[in-house]
Amino acid sequence: MGSWAIAVHGGAGVDPCLPAVRQEEARRVLSRCLKLGAGALQAGLTAVDVVEMVVRELETDPVFNSGRGSALTRRGTVEMEASIMDGRGRRCGAVSGLSTVKNPVSLARLVMDRSPHSYLAFDGAEDFAREQGVEMVDNSYFITEENVSMLKLAKEANSIVFDYRVPIPGVDSCSAIAGLMGAKAEGGLQMNGLPINMYAPETVGCVVVDNNGWCAAATSTGGLMNKMNGRIGDSPLIGSGTYACDVCAVSCTGEGEAIIRSTLARDVAALMEYKGLSLQEAVDYAIKERLDEGKAGLIAVSRNGEVAYGFNTVGMFRGSATQDGFMEVGIW
């Protein structure tokens, strides 16, 4: 019997001006999910069951960008995607273009367990969900007032996303954003005389190694704010946003296009398998050498019960817990 370990993330790329109350909300959700996963592992649940359970919890809470609280397309709708992978036999399932499935990660699990395929998208994925009796809701369930405001801001600036996440050398990013958007110093960030919340939620993910040394990973997201309809990011792509094998499990977050180009999640496992690197060495190498100019982060666990993370953004919402009682939640 080995030692279990779990790590969760709520996205890489954190607004440097993120209000303290938002930071506390994020910490609260991550802590709750860690405790949920740790309790399940102590009870003997398998790694793949735990990652699904934890990501479902994250999808249900609107604090992060998955399920309820997902980012909006340029049409003001939600198109969600998710994937899950079981290191036992490298089984996997993924879904994209979901607009009415309450918990995308659980549909990804059903694709893995109950279909002959690994990936279903848009109408085909929604049809499969209905066939499986998955809980469906109206698209409005996923939409929050804050994300409607963010979409309005993005459209007025003709931008997919405000890249306040990446620090500019010699520039105070909070001041730069305020100046760009014409904020009033005394009244906070404003546009057209109205207060705007600049906090943009991010992708969620979970990686687990259970008592038997089996690894699993799951990732879920609403994608980019103001994205083109039909855009697919890294989160549902096995080997890019999610990967698990008999060596480790990885979940990524950040600039999806860069993660796709680098097949970031699989690269961590390959560095361990082929180059003999430790988990943290592999994570550090992948973040430093494989992203080119891209900005991203990831969490990982090894079959030996190790936990690692890395990011090249301002911050990454993250937390981890291990069988020996260690538990940590961090942002910066």
Return the active site residues: 203
Among residues 192, 287, 199, 232, the alpha carbon closest in space to that of 80 is found at: 232
Q: Which residue type, as a one-letter code, is found at position 324?
A: D
| Angstrom distance (rounded) from CA 261 to CA 117 | 23
Residue found under tokens 């991203």: 296
Edge-first strand order for the sheet with 316-322 is: 119-121, 91-98, 80-86, 215-221, 204-209, 5-12, 316-322, 327-330
Buried b (16+ CB within 10 A) or exposed e, 159-169: ebbbebbeeee
What letter would DSSP give residue 164?
Answer: T
Half-sphere exposure of 28 (CA within 13 A, CB side): 9
Cα(40)–Cα(167) distance, integer angstroms: 38
List the structure tokens of 252. 């990524």
Q: Give CA–CA dist 151/319, Å, rounded.
A: 29
- The number of C-alpha atoms within 13 Å of 327 and in the hemisphere containing its C-beta is 12
Q: Which stretches within the chain are classed as H helix?
A: 20-42, 47-60, 104-114, 122-131, 145-156, 173-181, 256-262, 264-275, 279-289
